[in-house]
Structure 1
Amino acid sequence: MNTDFDVVILTDSRYLNDSKTDDYKHNVYYEDRLVYHALEQVGLKTLRLAWDDMFFDWSTTKAVLFRTTWDYFDRFPEFSEWLERISKLTMLLNSEAIIRWNIDKHYLLDLQNKGIHIAESHFIEQGAKVSLAQLHDILDWHETVLKPCVSGAARHTYKLNLDNLAAHETLFQDLIANEAMMLQPFQYNIVSKGEISMMVFNGVFTHAILKKAKAGDFRVQDDFGGSIEDYTPSEEEINFAELAVKACPELPIYARVDIFEDNAGDITLSELELIEPELWFRHHKEAALSLAKGVKQKLS
C-alpha cells in the first residue's frame, strides 16, 4: 500500500494550535508534540489533525493514533459513524474493536470476570423503570456516585446521598430514558488519598501520576481544579495495572489504568482508558518514545 504518512496523530479542532494564554491547551499541544517527535525519531512520517477533518484522505496514512479527541463523547453518534468508516481505510491505534469495547463502562464487568478487582458497581440499563430512592434502598448504599456508561471528563457525574435523591430524580429519569447509567458507592479514599493513573505501553508499565481533587470536590480531573504529582507505585500496583491491561480482549498499544484504594483498603480499578487518555508525557518524556516504538512495531 502506497501511503503519504505512517501515522496521523488525532486531536480535536480546539487543540490544533498552541496557546500562550491557556495552560490547558498548551499542555495538550505540547504533549502531542512530544508524541510527534518520538514517532519521527523512530523513523515514522507523521501528521497531526483533527479527527473530523473533512479534507484529509484517510487512506493516505498507514495508521491513526488517538490522542486528544476529547469531543468524541459530546458528538458520539457522529464519532461512531466516523470510526466505522475510517477503520475500513486505515489502521486504528488502538483498534476499533477495543475502542468500542472500552467506550462503554460495561467493560468493567468483563474485567471483573477475568479476576480484576473493580469498584463495586450497579448498572442501570436505558429505559429502566426505577427511582434513585428504590436503587439506594435495594443496594443499601447511602452515599453514591452516578455516572453515564459512555462518558468522559466527568460528564453527568453526580455525588448523591439520601438527602438529595429527590432533587436529582427528574434529571436521573431523563438520563436513563436516553442512556445506560451506573451507580457506585462513594469511595472515601479517593478524596483523602487520591487516584493513581498508571501508564502502560505494549503491556509494560512506564510511569504513574497521583491525582487529587481540590478541597470540597470529589472529581480528580484537572478540569475541575484537581492537582497532579509524580508518583512511584509499589510492585503490587504495577502488577495490578499490567494484569488489567492483559485482561483486555486484545493487547492495546497504550493504556491508562486508573486505580485507587477502595473503602475496604484494596487496590481497585476505577477506569481503564484505551481511547484517548491523557498520558502525562510532560512528566515523563521518555515514555513518548516507548509509545512510538510500540507503534512502529505494530506497523511492521
Structure 2
Amino acid sequence: MNPIYDVVILTDHRYLSDSKTDTYTRNVYYEDRLVYHALEQLGLRTLRLAWDDMFFDWSSTKAVLFRSTWDYFERFAEFSQWVESISKQTLLMNSGAIIRWNIDKHYLLELQKNNVPIAESHFIEKGAKVSLSQLHDILDWNETVLKPCISGAARHTYKLTSETLAAHEAIFQELIANEAMLLQPFQHNIVEKGEISMMVFNGSFSHAVLKKAKAGDFRVQDDFGGSVINYTPSEAEIDFAEACVKACPELPIYARVDVFEDNSGKIALSELELIEPELWFRYHPNAAMVLAKGIKQRIGA
C-alpha cells in the first residue's frame, strides 16, 4: 500500500486544538499550523496528530515530524518504546537514532570531545551514593544548577547555594535513585545577558531569538515568565551554531542551538535541541517554509 500522507506533524494531545484563552496553547497551535501550511503549499499531503494516537496507522505516512511532543519526558519509557516501534514503519525527522542520542544530556560530553565548548558540567549517575554537600565540596562550586539528564521545560531544575543544599537533599536523593542528574556552575551571564537560541535547518542558520529570565528568576523559558525578542547574531555566533550541528553523529533536519556567554566571558553551548524544540516560527513565519523545503527534499517528494 502506498502511503496516504507525506508528512504527519506530531504534537501531544493537549495541543491538538487552538485555544482562545490560553496563550501558550495558541502559540503552539499557531506555529504548528505555519509548518502545516508550508508543507501543503509545497504539495505535500499533511496531517497533524498526537504522537500517542492509538488509531493511526503510522505506515500510512512517508514521514513524521516531531514538533510539539512536549509530554515525552513525563512518559519517557512509553515514548521510547513508541519511537522504536514507528521507526520501523516510517521516516522520523529528526531520526530515531539522533533522538535517542539527544534525549539524554550525556550527549554534551560527546560534543565536547568534538571540540564544542559546553557549560562546565558534572554528571551524577543513577544510584550514586553522594550528597549535594559532598559534591559541592569536591567540585569547589558555590552556586550551581541541578537538573535531570532527561528533562524538558525545566523539570526538577534547581538553583543551589551553600545555604539551600540541605533543603534540596531529600529531593536530590529521590531523583538520583531513579535517574542520572547533571550539576553545573551557575552561569551569571545567562541571568544578566540572556540565552541566545539559533535555529539551524539542514546545517544552515535560519534565525535567532534572545531569551531572558524575569526579574528574580534564572530560568529563561517563557513558561516561567521569561521574555523573548528577535536577535541578530554575529558571524562568530552563527559559525558556532552551525559547527555544533555539524558535530552531531548525523546532520539533523532541524536544530535549536542554545548558547550563552559563560562565567569566563566565552561563548558556550547550553543545550542542543534536536527532538521537539520551540523554533519561534511566530517571530519568523517565513522560516517555516525553509524547514518545509528541507523536509520535501529529505523525503524525495
Aligned to 1:258: 258
* Identity rate, percent: 79
| Equivalent runs, 1:198-237 vs 2, <5 Å | 198-237=198-237
Asked if 1:166 is matched to 2:166, the reply is yes
**1:286 deviation in Å?**
1.1
Asked if 1:31 is matched to 2:67, the reply is no
- Letter aligned with residue 205 of structure 2: F
Structure 1 portions without partners, runs of 5+: none
CA distance in 1, matches of 2:273, 2:96: 14
**1:42 deviation in Å?**
1.5
| Equivalent runs, 1:95-174 vs 2, <5 Å | 95-174=95-174
Aligned to 1:270: 270
CA distance in 2, matches of 1:22, 1:151: 24
Question: What SS class does the counterpart of residue 108 from structure 2 fall into?
Answer: helix
- Deviation per residue, 1:217-237 (Å, 9 max, x gap): 000001100000000000000
Aligned to 2:10: 10
The alignment of Structure 1 onto Structure 2 pairs a total of residues equal to 300
Question: What SS class does the counterpart of residue 205 from structure 2 fall into?
Answer: strand
Aligned to 1:189: 189
- Letter aligned with residue 133 of structure 2: A
CA distance in 1, matches of 2:224, 2:16: 23
CA distance in 2, matches of 1:18, 1:238: 34
CA distance in 1, matches of 2:139, 2:81: 37
Aligned to 1:94: 94
Aligned to 1:245: 245
Aligned to 2:67: 67
| Equivalent runs, 1:43-62 vs 2, <5 Å | 43-62=43-62
**1:170 deviation in Å?**
1.1
- Letter aligned with residue 79 of structure 2: F
Structure 1 stretches (4+) deviating beyond 3 angstroms? none
- Deviation per residue, 1:138-193 (Å, 9 max, x gap): 00000000000000000000000111111111111110000000000000000000
CA distance in 1, matches of 2:271, 2:8: 26
CA distance in 2, matches of 1:17, 1:294: 26
Aligned to 2:20: 20
Question: What SS class does the counterpart of residue 146 from structure 2 fall into?
Answer: strand
Over aligned residues, Cα RMSD in angstroms?
0.6
Aligned to 2:81: 81
- Letter aligned with residue 127 of structure 1: G
CA distance in 2, matches of 1:41, 1:111: 36
CA distance in 1, matches of 2:242, 2:220: 22
CA distance in 2, matches of 1:37, 1:171: 44
- Deviation per residue, 1:42-82 (Å, 9 max, x gap): 12110000000011000000000000000000011110111
Question: What SS class does the counterpart of residue 21 from structure 2 fall into?
Answer: coil
- Deviation per residue, 1:22-60 (Å, 9 max, x gap): 111100000000000111111211000000001100000
CA distance in 2, matches of 1:132, 1:46: 49
- Letter aligned with residue 7 of structure 1: V
CA distance in 2, matches of 1:136, 1:73: 27
Structure 2 portions without partners, runs of 5+: none
Question: What SS class does the counterpart of residue 109 from structure 1 fall into?
Answer: helix
Question: What SS class does the counterpart of residue 104 from structure 1 fall into?
Answer: coil
How does the TM-score come out when normalised to structure 1?
0.99
**1:8 deviation in Å?**
0.0
CA distance in 2, matches of 1:6, 1:91: 10
